[in-house]
Structure 1
Amino acid sequence: MNAIEEAKSVVSRLSPADRAEFAFWLTSQSVELAPGIFSTPGVCGGDPCVGRTRIPVWVLESLRRQGLKAADLLKAYPVLQTDDLARAMAYVAAHREEIDQQIADNEQNGQE
């Protein structure tokens, strides 16, 4: 029996209340979308964030488009490392339309 089959077996034996609690927990877990880029329901609207931070990738890209350099971003966000920025920019390159839309949505909402 593989891990998925085992998990299904365990979950099927839970009470309805425990199953609901487990489902809530499961849907609140972070998903690694790309190396070092995570989406967590309820955190920053589920937008992709760098590492385990609450710094959305779209924010870093928006600031980069406004002329900030890597050194500026690292100074503004001291929790980030150079590798974090590289991962964020790689995610932007691979998901340009998604990031463009997130920037546009947030500019429209005045949240930037």
Structure 2
Amino acid sequence: MIATFDDLRDAVLHLPKGDQMRILSVVAMEVADAHPGIDFQDNVCGGAARIIRTRIPVWLLESLRRQGKTDAELLAAYPTLNAEDLTNAWNYARSHREEMDREIAANGDES
């Protein structure tokens, strides 16, 4: 069993180049839709995308933004958030517009 990152790195580097490329392809596919600062857990916020370390769903922030709230107003209303959190939320919302529309509509918080 591979116990550490260093062990895994060494094992991969000893594979034939073709196998290294296959592993790289699998990893790239897994992280292609990664969004830093955004978390998903089935038992938190119903599994909706949320700001990491909080219970603030991205759809809620996006809904408020669509209603005209500024970043400054959101930061004042949610003191546990910082500017980086909002940047992460906006990036996620931009690349998941249909999901945001569904979540906002499902939660009766349409703008």
TM-score range, shorter chain: 0.5 to 0.7
Distance across 2 between alignment mates of 1:73 and 1:81: 9
TM-score, normalized by length of structure 1?
0.67
SS of alignment partner, residue 39 of structure 2: strand
> Cα offset for 1:34?
1.4
> Cα offset for 1:40?
1.0
Query: Match of 1:90?
Result: 91
CA deviations 1:54-100 (Å, max 9, x no partner) are: 00000000000111000000000000000000000000011111111
SS of alignment partner, residue 34 of structure 1: coil
Query: What are the equivalent positions in structure 2 for 1:31-110 lying under 5 Å apart?
Result: 33-107=34-108
Which structure's residues are more often strand, by fraction?
1
Q: Which has the higher contact order (CA 8 A, sep 6+)?
A: 2
Distance across 1 between alignment mates of 2:83 and 2:59: 17
Q: Which runs of at least 4 in structure 1 moved beyond 2 Å after TM superposition? A: none
CA deviations 1:23-49 (Å, max 9, x no partner) are: xxxxxxxxxx51000011111101010
Query: Match of 1:24?
Result: none
Distance across 1 between alignment mates of 2:56 and 2:85: 11
Question: RMSD across aligned C-alpha pairs, in angstroms?
Answer: 1.7
User: What is the percent sequence identity of the aligned residues?
Assistant: 54
Distance across 1 between alignment mates of 2:70 and 2:44: 26
SS of alignment partner, residue 73 of structure 1: helix
Structure 1: runs of 5 or more not aligned? 4-32
Aligned length: 80
